[in-house]
Structure 1
Amino acid sequence: MSARTRDAVFDARAMEGLARVARFEPGLLVEDFAAPVAQEALAAAEVLLTGWGCPPLDEGALARMPRLRLVAHAAGTVRHHVTGAVWSRGVLVSTAAAANALPVAEYTVAAVLLSNKRVLDAARAYRETRGDIGAFDALAGAGNYRRTVGVVGASRIGRRVLELLRPYDLRLLVHDPYLDPAGAAALGVESVGLDQLCRASDVVSIHAPELPETRHLFDAARLALLRDGATLVNTARGSLVDTAALTAELVTGRLHAVLDVTDPEPLPADSPLWDLPNVLLTPHVAGSLGTELARLADTAIDEIRRYARGVPLEHAVRAEDLERSA
């Protein structure tokens, strides 16, 4: 992992926890598998603890680690460093994606509830009028009671969002091509087609993976299906939305958006989205940050503990999973 990742994710408490389950050199950080200083440690390594900034684990890297049996990733996706060579070697792979899903889901739920409540509109009107009660007339239709929320993707995050929203008086829809009726029933939600979800929802929240087939999943035609006043929430990846098409809709004021990710990221300085009153832009902060980073370390260390005890990993990744996951 990068030095920045180590310093952010693995505090003194995490290092103490790691020392209780594994032998390691606290001062050794590998950022380049070919670095001479790392060769002795790599040759003896049974477990590789990885994070953001890990270089690819290709044939050349694996040749330096003949004893490697587990890659425990203290972050989300392993796409950036786990190659086919890892699967060919039969190395186990674990991820902390489930831990990273929790703050993303919490951010999303907050965005859904505040969007239906039209909090941004209320705050702006309150500020601009310095408390003129008449300015709130436009908020007469706001609120969460009996609103419809559509979740695109029954991923770890999507499922957690649905779980957190269940106690509210909301109609919950989900679209996922891999979710069968039994799975939807188990989630306690209604599974519908994507176009139907767009037409019916007051808020649409995207939790699908970034794949070639999901690029511009929300193009001009699909955005046009959203009802007037609907909100699009994107905490997945910017490429799932056609930015030009979304911008055209938002400029008219017909839609609202909460965007934690964009394409490109960041947006150009002259993008209208920076200044539109119906858009909330945040700098990719829905995922783990601050105190939440400790959860990533705890998850990875716990997986190493499970491996050491000879019990199944709780968050194992399979090669076939990567074909349809982030």
Structure 2
Amino acid sequence: MDPRVAARLINAPLRERLRTIADVQPAHVVSDFTGVELAHTEVLFTSWGCPPVTAEVLARAPRLRAIVHAAGTVKELVTDACWRRGIAVSSAAAANAEPVAEYTLAAILFSGKRVMDIARAYRHFPAADDWAARFPGLGNYRRTVGVVGASRIGRRVIELLRPFTLDVLVSDPYLDEELPGARRVDLDELLASSDIVTLHAPALPETHHMIDAARLASMPDGATLINTARAALVDQEALIAELASGRLYAVLDLTQPEVLPASSPLHDLPNVLVTPHIAGSLGGELARMADLALDELARHAHGLPFIHPVDPTTLARSA
């Protein structure tokens, strides 16, 4: 992993726990396998910044049996050679899903309460006593929320929404079951019916710009689009056009490019909240991923299967 990631991910208590589980040198962190001695390595403990584990790397690691990834997706590091070798792979994606779902829940509730509008208007109308009259439709009671993608995060968002009196829709072409708290519909019905739409689909060729100009136009006036998934899911230029008209709102944690230039109109539009990819694990939340990864490492050390294994047969259509 990137040494800077290691410094934030593995704090002193976690470092001591790691030493009790495995024969490891926590201070020895590599971000490049070139020249690294791997002959006795049985497990790779990885995170963001890990280079691909290629056939050449595996040839130098004859005892390697598992990769424990203390982060989300493993697509960038686990190669086909790992699956052919039968390497067991675990991911902390479930832990990383939690803060994304929490961010999404907050965005949904703030959107329904028209927080962005009222916060701006308050400066100009400090004595206003009827915000609901100024912003018709304000409130979360019986609002319709559409969840696009029954991914790990999408499902967690649906769970977090259960205590609230909301009508929740879900759309996913791979979903073949009913999810408690949500009604399954196709994507076009979801977009046309939802006050708030939140995206949790992976970036795949078939999902590229799935939210295009026509689908944005089908959303009700005043609807909010939340994207904590991948920027490529949305035709950003078409979204900017809708936002500039004032018809829609957006909460965007991902943009194209990811580091949004200061000249982007998204910074200045009053109906947009843009954040710099902060929904995932940051700060103290990193420890949740490390704890899960160490739990998995301990299970492997005792000959037990992973609780959070990566399934190579579904990896292609996951985030």
* Shorter-chain TM band: over 0.9
Please name the residue that 1:187 is paired with: 180
Give, in angstroms, the shift of residue 134 of structure 1: 5.9
Please name the residue that 1:20 is paired with: 20
Please name the residue that 2:165 is paired with: 169
Please name the residue that 2:88 is paired with: 92
Select the residue among 212, 217, 224 that pairs with 2:217: 224
Select the residue among 138, 145, 149 that pairs with 1:149: 145
What is the identity, as a one-letter code, of the residue corresponding to 1:14?
A: L
**What CA distance in whole angstroms lies between the structure 2 residues aligned with 1:66 and 1:204?**
48
> Greater CA deviation, 69-78 or 262-271?
262-271
What is the identity, as a one-letter code, of the residue corresponding to 1:30?
A: V
Give, in angstroms, the shift of residue 187 of structure 1: 2.5
> Greater CA deviation, 55-64 or 194-203?
55-64
Give, in angstroms, the shift of residue 267 of structure 1: 2.2
Give, in angstroms, the shift of residue 135 of structure 1: 6.4
Q: SS of the counterpart of 2:53?
A: coil
**What CA distance in whole angstroms lies between the structure 2 residues aligned with 1:135 and 1:116?**
13
> Greater CA deviation, 113-122 or 260-269?
260-269
**What CA distance in whole angstroms lies between the structure 2 residues aligned with 1:297 and 1:207?**
23
1:243-274, CA deviations, whole angstroms, 9 ceiling, x for partnerless residues?
Answer: 00000000000000000011111223221110
Give, in angstroms, the shift of residue 123 of structure 1: 0.7
Select the residue among 256, 259, 264 that pairs with 1:263: 256
Please name the residue that 1:60 is paired with: 56
Please name the residue that 1:133 is paired with: 129
1:36-95, CA deviations, whole angstroms, 9 ceiling, x for partnerless residues?
Answer: xx31xx211100000100001111111121100000000000011111010011000000
What is the identity, as a one-letter code, of the residue corresponding to 1:278?
A: N
Give, in angstroms, the shift of residue 17 of structure 1: 1.2
Contact map agreement 2:132 2:138 (CA 8 A) in 1: no
1:43 correspondence with 2:36? no
**What CA distance in whole angstroms lies between the structure 2 residues aligned with 1:217 and 1:263?**
15
Give, in angstroms, the shift of residue 288 of structure 1: 0.4
Q: SS of the counterpart of 1:277?
A: coil
**What CA distance in whole angstroms lies between the structure 2 residues aligned with 1:215 and 1:140?**
34
What is the identity, as a one-letter code, of the residue corresponding to 1:176?
A: D
- The CA RMSD measured in Å over matched residues stands at 1.1
Q: SS of the counterpart of 2:202?
A: coil
Higher helix share: 1
What is the identity, as a one-letter code, of the residue corresponding to 2:6?
A: R
**What CA distance in whole angstroms lies between the structure 2 residues aligned with 1:285 and 1:176?**
25
What is the identity, as a one-letter code, of the residue corresponding to 1:266?
A: V
1:103-123, CA deviations, whole angstroms, 9 ceiling, x for partnerless residues?
Answer: 000000010011010001111
What is the identity, as a one-letter code, of the residue corresponding to 1:46?
A: E
Spell out the pairing of 1:97-136 with structure 2 (5 A cutoff): 97-133=93-129
**What CA distance in whole angstroms lies between the structure 2 residues aligned with 1:261 and 1:27?**
33
**What CA distance in whole angstroms lies between the structure 1 residues aligned with 2:130 and 2:42?**
67
Flag structure 2 segments of 5+ consecutive residues without an equivalent.
none
Give, in angstroms, the shift of residue 204 of structure 1: 0.2
Give, in angstroms, the shift of residue 130 of structure 1: 3.4
Contact map agreement 1:159 1:187 (CA 8 A) in 2: no
Give, in angstroms, the shift of residue 320 of structure 1: 1.1
Q: SS of the counterpart of 2:147?
A: strand
1:316 correspondence with 2:314? no
Among the aligned pairs, what percent are the same residue?
A: 59
**What CA distance in whole angstroms lies between the structure 2 residues aligned with 1:164 and 1:155?**
14
Please name the residue that 1:292 is paired with: 285
**What CA distance in whole angstroms lies between the structure 1 residues aligned with 2:27 and 2:183?**
51
1:236 correspondence with 2:229? yes
**What CA distance in whole angstroms lies between the structure 2 residues aligned with 1:140 and 1:244?**
28
TM-score (norm 2): 0.98
What is the identity, as a one-letter code, of the residue corresponding to 2:28?
A: L
Select the residue among 293, 302, 307 that pairs with 2:295: 302
Contact map agreement 2:209 2:233 (CA 8 A) in 1: yes
Large movers: runs of 4+ above 6 Å: none
Give, in angstroms, the shift of residue 136 of structure 1: 5.8
> Greater CA deviation, 131-140 or 301-310?
131-140
Select the residue among 262, 267, 271 that pairs with 1:274: 267
